[in-house]
Structure 1
Amino acid sequence: MRESFVIFAETETPPAPLEWEPHSHPLHELVWARGGTMTTRVGDRIYTVSEGEGLWLPAGQVHAGRLTANVEFHSAFFSRHRTPVAFAAPTVITMVPLLESLLRHLARTDLPSDARERAESVVFDVLQPSGQQLRLQLPGDRRIDPIAETLLNDPSDGRSLDEWAQLLGISERTITRAFRHTTGLSFAQWRRVLRVHHALALLSEGWDVRTTSEMVGYAQPSSFIAAFRTVMGTTPGSLPTTS
């Protein structure tokens, strides 16, 4: 990024799923995807960003991530010292059409300085957090971390609290209290949010609702749709379709 730029944007479309190892940038970064989803892990939180949303990452924030294949991946870098609007923590941003158009415009390197300054000022006016901050808090408690890791790898795992308690040699009450203390959710609520995170990626890859519901552990599509609505406030069928 040139020092004269407050904002510089770029785009790529990887032909295969793209994964990033943990890394950070010296600049603030806003990332978003068109035609799919992006999953980003920041410390003990996982963010799933779908069509129409982006993720703001403060300068120096270590993060890792995954992008589905054949998806337009966009990133915009913001000067650390010349950005009047900045968020201190990772924040889901509403990618309204005007914001996205402006950032695409700012990807040009031949813009006159006055035109660039005008576009940048409007970006700061429309850069707003989303009302839906979809993130999954990981427990970070060694007593229940095996549950979290198992479900992250296989969200369809349907073992009950009793079965997990027997496997781990602890009580159901201990598991319940540990989830509440570390994530603010019950075990059932936490698993539901995790399954919706996975479902968003599957749906964006073109899987239908019935197949997606089975892949994330629901025997009936109606149960999956109800869980999805509880977490997202809408149904899977209302999501933007990809071509």
Structure 2
Amino acid sequence: MNRIGTDMDVQALPHLEFAPGDLPGMMGSMGELVEREIAWESNSRATHELLWTASGAGTVTIGEETYTVTPQLGLWLPAGACHSGFTPLGTCQRVALFSIGGTPQFSDRPVPVEITPLLQLLLKRLQVPGLDERSRSLSEAMIVDVLQPAERDLRVRIPASELLQPIVEALRQEPGNRFSLEQWAEQLEVSTKTVTRSFRAETGLSFSRWRATVRAQHAVVLLAAGMEIEDVAFRTGYHSASAFGAAFRRVTGKTPGFFRSTGGE
């Protein structure tokens, strides 16, 4: 989920068909420093992609699920996967492109990936000018070998029902919204049981757990941009940094400080 600002660049990218016979055998990588908030419209590539950031954090939406990408947590996208995205101002985003084949454990579904220090070094090595063919091939093989699914990911499933849309929109615009389950039920003119059943049916989570996950996802973007933990706590609806830290760790398995650096805990 993204809080959409008024000064945003909306960019359209092509939908490329999956065509193995036309793909290069080599893997490429690229990076970009985002100088204005960007919303990427739905697109797809004919190659596999690994998305992450060198600094800052962004989100990638596939169907009804939104993933967070950071310097520590990337996202593997299989060829042909339709996705859209949001990248805040100041984010340094990265993408590596993989040819079809050679990656059976990742080839058919989106997979959150740990961006370990070793993987970072190997990805940086591919950007060295004049890298000879042998060194490039070895680096590519090692990258595929060290790719590992993340133990925890920052994924939010967005409810699609009309009943829950007021809640979704309210938290999209203001992740710190403090309306309780009872208050939402009253506003929607249904019982708390109805709201709870709907959230569990559509997201697999209770309302409070889903809201905590939305807040954590938004918090990571703010933390990666350098905002102080106390300010992030307030912006995401918590009365204290300690309460925020406890809730954040329950969702992510990490402390807020983990996402304010590139080296992890």
**Does residue 67 of the first structure (1) align with residue 87 of the second (2)?**
yes
Amino-acid identity (%) = 37
Say if 1:73 and 1:176 are closer, same or farther in 2 by CA, change over 3 A.
Answer: same
Describe the superposition over 1:9-66 as per-residue Cα deviations: whole angstroms up to 9, x where unpaired.
1111122233211111111110110121121111101111222121111111111112
In the alignment, which of 172, 175, 192 is matched to residue 212 of structure 2?
192
* Structure 1 position 82, deviation (Å): 5.1
Residue 208 of structure 2 aligns to a residue whose secondary structure is helix
Contact 1:94 1:130 in 2 (8 A): yes
Contact 1:17 1:68 in 2 (8 A): yes
* Structure 1 position 87, deviation (Å): 3.7
In the alignment, which of 54, 59, 76 is matched to residue 56 of structure 1?
76
CA distance in 2, matches of 1:104, 1:67: 21
Contact 1:32 1:75 in 2 (8 A): yes
CA distance in 2, matches of 1:3, 1:59: 11
* Structure 1 position 227, deviation (Å): 0.6
Q: For structure 2, list consecutive stretches of 5 or more residues without a partner in the other structure.
A: 1-21
CA distance in 2, matches of 1:227, 1:46: 19
Residue 176 of structure 2 aligns to a residue whose secondary structure is coil
* Structure 1 position 109, deviation (Å): 7.3
Residue 177 of structure 2 corresponds to 157
Residue 112 of structure 2 corresponds to 92
**Does residue 40 of the first structure (1) align with residue 60 of the second (2)?**
yes
Residue 39 of structure 2 aligns to a residue whose secondary structure is strand
In the alignment, which of 14, 18, 39 is matched to residue 19 of structure 1?
39
In the alignment, which of 200, 207, 214 is matched to residue 227 of structure 2?
207
Contact 1:38 1:65 in 2 (8 A): yes
Q: CA RMSD in A?
A: 2.0
Q: For structure 1, list consecutive stretches of 5 or more residues without a partner in the other structure.
A: none
Residue 153 of structure 2 aligns to a residue whose secondary structure is coil
Q: Which shows bigger deviation, 138-147 or 179-188?
A: 138-147
CA distance in 2, matches of 1:108, 1:238: 28
Contact 1:6 1:78 in 2 (8 A): yes
**Does residue 5 of the first structure (1) align with residue 47 of the second (2)?**
no
Describe the superposition over 1:150-178 as per-residue Cα deviations: whole angstroms up to 9, x where unpaired.
21221111112222122222211110011
Describe the superposition over 1:77-106 as per-residue Cα deviations: whole angstroms up to 9, x where unpaired.
111245455242211111122222222333
CA distance in 1, matches of 2:77, 2:47: 9
Residue 202 of structure 2 corresponds to 182
Residue 191 of structure 1 aligns to a residue whose secondary structure is helix
In the alignment, which of 207, 216, 241 is matched to residue 221 of structure 1?
241
Say if 1:3 and 1:223 are closer, same or farther in 2 by CA, change over 3 A.
Answer: same
* Structure 1 position 121, deviation (Å): 1.3
Q: Which shows bigger deviation, 111-120 or 150-159?
A: 111-120
CA distance in 2, matches of 1:158, 1:182: 21
> Structure 2-normalised TM-score?
0.83
CA distance in 2, matches of 1:65, 1:152: 15
Amino acid in the other structure paired with 2:69: V
Q: Which shows bigger deviation, 231-240 or 73-82?
A: 231-240
Say if 1:160 and 1:198 are closer, same or farther in 2 by CA, change over 3 A.
Answer: same
Contact 2:23 2:100 in 1 (8 A): no
Say if 1:188 and 1:3 are closer, same or farther in 2 by CA, change over 3 A.
Answer: closer
CA distance in 2, matches of 1:196, 1:83: 31
